[in-house]
Amino acid sequence: MFKDFITNASLLVTSFFIIGQLFKDYRLRPSSSWKMRAAAGVCFGLQGILLMIYSVRLNESVIVDLRHIPIVVAAMQGGPVSAVFSAAVIMSGRIGLFGPSYTSVLPSILIMLIGITCGALAGNKGISMRRFLLLNTVAMIYVSVAVAMQFGLNGLQGQVASVLAYHWVISTTVGLLSTYTFLSIVRAHESTKKLQQSEARYKRLITASPDATLVLSQDLIVFINEKGVRLLRAAARKELLGRPIYDFFHPDNRNTSWTRCQDIRSGKTQPELIEQKLVCLDDTEIIVELSVSPTVYKGNAALLVTLRDITGRKTTERQLQEALSLLQKLSDLDGLTGIANRRKLDEHLAKAWSGCAANRSPLSVIMFDVDHFKAYNDSHGHLGGDEVLRTIALTANAVLLQKSHFIARYGGEEFACILTEVGAEEAYEWAEAIRMAVERLALPFKPSDANVYVTVSLGLASLVPDASTPPEQLIDLADKALYQAKAEGRNRTVCYGSTDEAAG
């Protein structure tokens, strides 16, 4: 008898698996269409007939089996419709297999009662292990009544208790096992279908995405939308499918990109936007904004890659940056002479003052202007005066560039030079170099009582800055020295606090 029950259990689990496969594409539930629930009831009924064929025969007229379990599961899975249909099929099978007799009609009636009762109790709540225990208990009460009646008619009252106990244990144990199996199968199919629906929905979103989107499996392109096909300059999708994505990475950053993708796949790095240079199929180089994130494609781990072409944007940004740099440069330059303007002078002086104060190193300033410039303007015109200022500025700048010293137009015909980490003696030499360079230009001055050629006068001051005093102090001292140079006859250099000078 034990072997027969094991056979029943094996058939029950196997047939549940088959039914699960039959309905894997249809989500069977109490709210499904009545046709689907009826079809499910027929399947569960056939399952019950199969169990009857391999039933446990206690004597010539008494058999027991697990045929009520399919009815219980049908009630939970498809509601009253499935329960009644399964009971009807089993009832027909019982009478058909054993003929119309008391021993076949009574169990058939009880089977129908089980179907109706379990269907009513199950309602629309679906399948669960707790609900199975409840319905199985109800069904087993009916079965127990039928078995007791059959044993009574055959004079086997003494065996009723042991047989029922055995039947209850086997029914509950095998029923829980088979129900758990069927529930797992149903949930697995539902999860698979949800995954397929999710992938299909995801695929539609990717296909409609305005960005180039592709899916990588083992670093190979397994899916790419039309925007991606156009971005990589392919004629058709088949040219790209199956190719390693790294074929399109620029050689300069291919290894770095490969490492980053591997880190994202392994979870070491969080997904982020990456600027990447790609080489398309037609050898066109483009810059893309690339996003990589883990995903699942057709049940396997994969990488979702989104590409946005930013070549035009990067070109515009570069051009804008160049324009801004040029604008910044122009804003720092004097429009007439092309050297630094007063604003840039103030900025450079403040920086040099702070640096030399921190290092306790000397800082020197040379102020110079064109001698008798008003008279030169009056005799040569403003255009001529402008040309002289440009020439002198470029000449002085060329002298100071030898050591990267700084020069700016201070205002009008006056200029200022800043010499970092240069003391008074060396600054005097630089000032004289400027004065003599201008003198060598021999720029003609129309006959006058002043000069034959254009000359400049220079004043300089040098000190070790104190961070607590303003840098304009040094400008004032150099300006006083320049005033002294003019008072002493022009075309000479005067150092503040000294009577040293050089005259041409």
Q: In this structure, what token pair is assigned to residue 194? A: 């949800």
Q: 1-192 has which CATH code?
A: 1.10.1760.20
Q: Please check the confidence at residue 219 and state whether its pLDDT lies above 90.
A: no
Residues 316, 405: Cα–Cα separation, whole Å: 35
For 265, other C-beta atoms within 10 Å of its C-beta total 17
Residues 124, 258: Cα–Cα separation, whole Å: 53
In the CATH hierarchy, which fold is given to the domain comprising 333-495? Alpha-Beta Plaits (3.30.70)
Residues of the chain with CATH 1.10.1760.20: 1-192
Q: Which pLDDT value is given to residue 501? A: 40
Q: In this structure, what token pair is assigned to residue 328? A: 């910044």
> How much is the pTM?
0.45
Q: 212-313 has which CATH code?
A: 3.30.450.20
Report the sign of the C-alpha dihedral through residues 341, 342, 347, 351, in that order: positive
What are the pLDDT digits (tens) for 97-139?
767 766 667 777 888 888 888 888 877 777 777 888 888 888 8
Q: Which pLDDT value is given to residue 256? A: 73
Q: Which pLDDT value is given to residue 153? A: 62
Q: Please check the confidence at residue 181 and state whether its pLDDT lies above 80.
A: no
Residues 202, 209: Cα–Cα separation, whole Å: 10
Contacts for 355 with CB less than 8 Å, ≥ 6 apart = 361, 420
Residues of the chain with CATH 3.30.70.270: 333-495
Residues 369, 392: Cα–Cα separation, whole Å: 10
Question: What is the share, in percent, of the chain residues with pLDDT greater than 90?
Answer: 26
If residue 206 lies in a helix (H) or strand (E), which one and from where to where?
A: helix 160-208
How many residues are given for the chain? 504
Q: SS3 for 366?
A: strand
Q: Which segment, 112-116, 275-279, 360-364, is predicted with the most confidence on average?
A: 360-364
Which regions of 106-250 does DSSP assign to beta strands (E)?
A: 212-217, 220-224
Q: SS3 for 120?
A: helix
Report the sign of the C-alpha dihedral through residues 352, 398, 436, 335, in that order: negative
Residues of the chain with CATH 3.30.450.20: 212-313
Is residue 293 a contact partner of residue 270, using CB atoms and an 8 Å limit? no
If residue 46 lies in a helix (H) or strand (E), which one and from where to where?
A: helix 34-53
